[in-house]
């Protein structure tokens, strides 16, 4: 059974993409734990699967007669927009205030 392991470099890339700042202790512990958990995940490879067996997104099926119809594509204003804005750590004139968004020139 081929076993992937997560290297320090690979782990640091994940942390970057996950937009997390970790302490050195957290990084060490979480990477070790992930490698332990990978051993459990690798058990999937030992499951005999019929090639015809289709994957499922949900367990129970949704036959058309019980499915919810798609909602009409009509804009409905939310009745409590101020309640949303009020929860933002920083807001001004009905807008959420963010720090600078860095721009990167492509190419």
Phi first, then psi, for residue 91 (nearest 5°) are -145, 160
Site for another protein in 12-71 (CB under 8 A): 14-15, 17-22, 26, 29-30, 33-34, 37-38, 40-47, 49, 53-60, 62, 65-68, 70-71
Q: And the tokens for 31? A: 């990477």
Residue 1 and residue 44 in contact, taking contact as beta carbons nearer than 8 Å? no
Strands 91-92 and 95-96: antiparallel
DSSP secondary-structure letter at 69? P
Residues touching another protein: how many (CB under 8 A)?
A: 58
Judged by the rule CB under 8 A, the positions of this chain that interact with another protein are 1, 4, 6, 11, 14-15, 17-22, 26, 29-30, 33-34, 37-38, 40-47, 49, 53-60, 62, 65-68, 70-71, 78, 80, 83-84, 86-90, 96, 98-102
């Amino acid at each position: 059974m081929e076993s992937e392991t997560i290297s320090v470099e690979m782990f640091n890339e994940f942390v970057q993409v996950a937009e997390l700042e970790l302490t050195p202790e957290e990084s060490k512990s979480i990477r070790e734990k992930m490698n332990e958990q990978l051993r459990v995940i690798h058990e999937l490879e030992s499951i005999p699967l019929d090639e015809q067996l289709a994957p499922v997104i949900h367990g129970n099926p949704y036959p058309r007669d019980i499915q919810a119809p798609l909602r009409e594509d009509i804009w409905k204003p939310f009745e409590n927009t101020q309640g949303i804005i009020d929860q933002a750590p920083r807001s001004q004139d009905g807008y959420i205030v963010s720090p600078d968004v860095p721009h990167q020139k492509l190419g």
